[in-house]
C-alpha cells in the first residue's frame, strides 16, 4: 500500500512538472516572448537539468513541443536549445457579437492560425452553434496536419462557468441560454464558455500589455457594450460565481439613460461603440476599419463625441482606480480607440480625478493584441484543462 501511494505521488509530481514546463513554453512563445530554453526552464522551475531534459523529451514524444538548436555559437560549450510549441493540436475560439460571429483556430503560444468573421445580425444561440461548428470544420479542413482538440467561447454577457449557461447577454437577447452543451454536441470536443472581456483580460495578461502585472484592470468596448476584467495578485478574479469585472454597469450618471440591464446611467449606456460608428457614417465594421476611419476623421462632431465619451469614461475610471489601486489599466476595443484619439496632455491627466495615492505609479495603455484579444482569450480558456495534464490526451 505504501509503495502504491509512493508511485501515485510520484506520478502526480511528474504531471505537475510536465504542466509547468508546457505552461512556460506556451507563455514564452507568445507575441511578447522570444522562446524558452532548457536552461531557462531549469532556472524558472528550480529543477535539475536531467529532470528538465526528461520532461521536455516526454512532451516532444507526445507532439506538444519541438527543440530548435539555433542559438548563436559564440561562447564556450553547447548552446541550450529553444523549446517551442508544435501546432499538431489547435483549439477553436468563438466570439458571438451583435453584428457577427468571429471564429478562429489558435495554436499554443496564442498564435492565431486561421480566422473568419461571419456577418450576422443579433445571432441566436442556435445560429451561433451552427455557424461556429460549420466554420470550425471548414478551417480545420484547411489545416489537415493539425486537429482541433477543444473550443472556447467568449460571450458578451454573464456566464455561469460550471455548465456554460449564458445567464444574461442583454444586447444579444440571450437569457438562461445553454451554449457549451449544444456546441459540444456539434463539435465532439470539450467546450468552455466565459465572459468576453474577462477572456480578453486573460489574453493581455498572458501575452499582451498586461504581461507581468500583479494588479490590473482591463476595460473593453464592443458592439454589445462595455465589459472588464480584474487581476489581483497576478490572477484573474472571478468573484463568487465568476461574474466580477462588470465595469460597464458602474453608474456614472444617476439621471442618465436606461441601460440594457434595466438600471439607469450605467457606463455602457452613455459610452457606446455605436455612437462612434454612427458619427463616422459607417455601417457594420470591425475594430480595424473603425480605427482607420477614426484616425482619418477630422470633423468637429466626431472630435466632440470622443471628448464626451472620454469624459464619462474618466468618471468611471476615478472610482475604479480609487477602489482597486491597480498598477495598470488597459483599454481594449472601442475604448482603446478613444484612448488613442486623445492628446498626450489628455492621457497624462486621465486619472487626475482619482486620489493621488491610488493613482500613483499607474500606467494606462491600449491593449497590445488588438483585434485578436478576444479569440486568444477564448483559446486560453480552451487550453486550460489540456495543459494541466498534457499526457492524458
Do the beta carbons of residue 174 and residue 139 sit within 8 Å?
no
| pLDDT above 60: residue 385 | yes
Question: What CATH number did the domain enclosing 257 receive?
Answer: 3.30.420.40
Asked if residue 202 belongs to a domain, the reply is: no
Confidence of residue 393 (pLDDT cuts 50, 70, 90): low
| pLDDT above 60: residue 169 | yes
Confidence of residue 247 (pLDDT cuts 50, 70, 90): very high
User: Beta strands of 268-327 (E only): which ranges?
Assistant: none
Asked if residue 81 belongs to a domain, the reply is: yes
User: Beta strands of 142-276 (E only): which ranges?
Assistant: 147-155, 158-160, 165-169, 174-178, 191-195, 216-222, 225-232, 235-236
Do 339 and 264 share a structural domain?
Answer: yes
pLDDT computed for residue 166 by the predictor: 96
Do 159 and 76 share a structural domain?
Answer: no
Structure-block grid coordinates of residue 357: 495615492
Do 112 and 170 share a structural domain?
Answer: yes
Do 349 and 217 share a structural domain?
Answer: yes
pLDDT computed for residue 320 by the predictor: 96
Do 161 and 39 share a structural domain?
Answer: no
Asked if residue 393 belongs to a domain, the reply is: no
Number of domains in the chain: 3
pLDDT computed for residue 342 by the predictor: 92
Do 220 and 352 share a structural domain?
Answer: yes
Confidence of residue 33 (pLDDT cuts 50, 70, 90): low
Domain that holds residue 23: 2-85
pLDDT computed for residue 193 by the predictor: 97
Give the Å distances, CA to CA, from 59 to 7, 119, 272.
Answer: 20, 39, 46
Q: What is the DSSP letter of 372?
A: G
| pLDDT above 70: residue 78 | no
Chosen domain end from 66, 85, 104? 85
Asked if residue 378 belongs to a domain, the reply is: yes
Asked if residue 204 belongs to a domain, the reply is: no
Question: What CATH number did the domain enclosing 28 receive?
Answer: 1.10.10.10
DSSP 110-167: TEEEEEEEEE-SS--HHHHHHHHHHHHHHHHHT-TTSEEEEEEEEESSEEETTTTEEE
Do the beta carbons of residue 210 and residue 328 sit within 8 Å?
yes
Asked if residue 233 belongs to a domain, the reply is: yes
pLDDT computed for residue 286 by the predictor: 81
For the entire predicted model, the pTM comes to 0.89
Asked if residue 94 belongs to a domain, the reply is: yes
Max Cα–Cα distance, the chain, nearest Å: 79
Asked if residue 60 belongs to a domain, the reply is: yes
CA separation for the pair 353, 81 (Å, rounded): 50
The percentage of residues in the chain with a pLDDT greater than 70, rounded to a whole number, is 94
Do 246 and 110 share a structural domain?
Answer: no
pLDDT computed for residue 30 by the predictor: 66
Do 117 and 30 share a structural domain?
Answer: no
| Residue position matching grid coordinates 477630422 | 298
Chosen domain end from 67, 85, 103? 85
Using CB atoms within 10 A of its CB, is residue 191 exposed (0-12), middle (13-18) or buried (19+)? buried
Chosen domain end from 25, 52, 85? 85
Do 72 and 187 share a structural domain?
Answer: no
Do 213 and 67 share a structural domain?
Answer: no
Do 384 and 335 share a structural domain?
Answer: no
Q: Is residue 36 within a helix (H) or strand (E), and if so which, with residue range?
A: strand 36-37
| Residue position matching grid coordinates 465532439 | 188
Do 158 and 31 share a structural domain?
Answer: no
pLDDT computed for residue 297 by the predictor: 83
Amino acid at each position: 500500500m505504501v509503495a502504491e501511494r509512493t508511485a501515485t505521488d510520484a506520478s502526480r509530481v511528474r504531471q505537475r512538472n510536465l504542466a509547468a514546463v508546457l505552461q512556460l513554453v506556451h507563455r514564452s512563445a507568445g507575441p511578447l516572448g522570444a522562446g524558452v530554453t532548457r536552461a531557462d526552464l531549469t532556472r524558472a522551475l528550480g529543477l535539475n537539468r536531467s529532470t528538465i531534459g526528461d520532461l521536455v523529451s516526454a512532451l516532444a514524444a507526445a507532439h506538444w513541443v519541438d527543440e530548435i538548436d539555433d542559438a548563436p555559437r559564440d561562447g564556450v560549450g553547447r548552446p541550450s536549445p529553444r523549446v517551442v510549441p508544435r501546432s499538431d493540436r489547435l483549439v477553436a475560439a468563438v466570439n458571438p457579437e451583435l453584428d457577427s460571429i468571429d471564429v478562429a483556430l489558435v495554436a499554443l503560444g496564442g498564435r492565431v492560425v486561421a480566422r473568419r468573421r461571419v456577418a450576422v445580425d443579433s445571432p441566436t444561440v442556435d445560429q451561433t452553434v451552427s455557424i461556429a461548428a460549420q466554420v470550425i470544420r471548414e478551417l480545420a479542413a484547411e489545416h489537415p496536419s493539425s486537429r482541433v482538440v477543444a473550443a472556447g467561447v467568449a460571450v458578451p454577457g454573464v456566464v455561469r462557468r460550471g455548465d456554460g449557461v449564458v445567464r444574461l447577454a442583454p444586447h444579444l437577447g440571450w437569457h438562461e441560454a445553454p451554449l457549451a452543451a449544444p456546441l459540444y454536441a456539434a463539435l465532439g470536443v470539450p467546450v468552455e464558455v466565459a465572459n468576453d472581456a474577462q477572456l480578453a483580460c486573460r489574453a493581455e495578461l498572458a501575452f499582451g500589455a498586461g504581461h507581468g502585472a500583479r494588479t490590473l484592470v482591463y476595460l473593453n468596448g464592443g458592439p454589445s457594450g462595455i465589459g472588464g476584467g480584474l487581476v489581483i495578485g497576478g490572477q484573474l478574479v472571478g468573484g463568487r460565481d465568476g461574474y466580477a469585472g462588470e465595469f460597464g454597469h458602474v453608474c456614472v450618471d444617476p439621471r442618465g439613460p436606461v441601460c440594457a440591464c434595466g438600471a439607469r446611467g450605467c457606463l455602457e449606456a452613455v459610452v457606446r461603440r455605436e455612437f462612434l460608428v454612427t458619427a463616422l457614417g459607417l455601417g457594420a465594421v470591425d475594430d480595424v476599419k473603425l480605427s482607420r476611419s477614426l484616425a482619418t476623421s477630422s470633423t468637429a462632431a466626431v472630435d466632440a463625441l470622443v471628448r464626451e465619451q472620454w469624459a464619462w469614461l474618466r468618471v468611471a475610471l476615478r472610482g475604479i482606480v480609487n477602489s482597486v489601486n491597480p498598477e495598470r489599466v488597459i483599454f481594449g476595443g472601442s475604448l482603446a480607440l478613444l484612448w488613442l484619439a486623445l492628446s498626450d496632455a489628455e492621457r497624462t491627466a486621465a486619472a487626475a480625478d482619482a486620489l493621488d495615492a491610488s493613482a500613483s505609479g499607474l500606467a494606462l495603455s491600449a491593449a497590445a493584441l488588438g483585434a485578436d484579444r478576444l479569440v486568444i482569450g477564448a483559446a486560453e480558456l480552451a487550453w486550460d484543462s489540456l495543459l494541466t495534464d498534457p499526457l492524458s490526451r
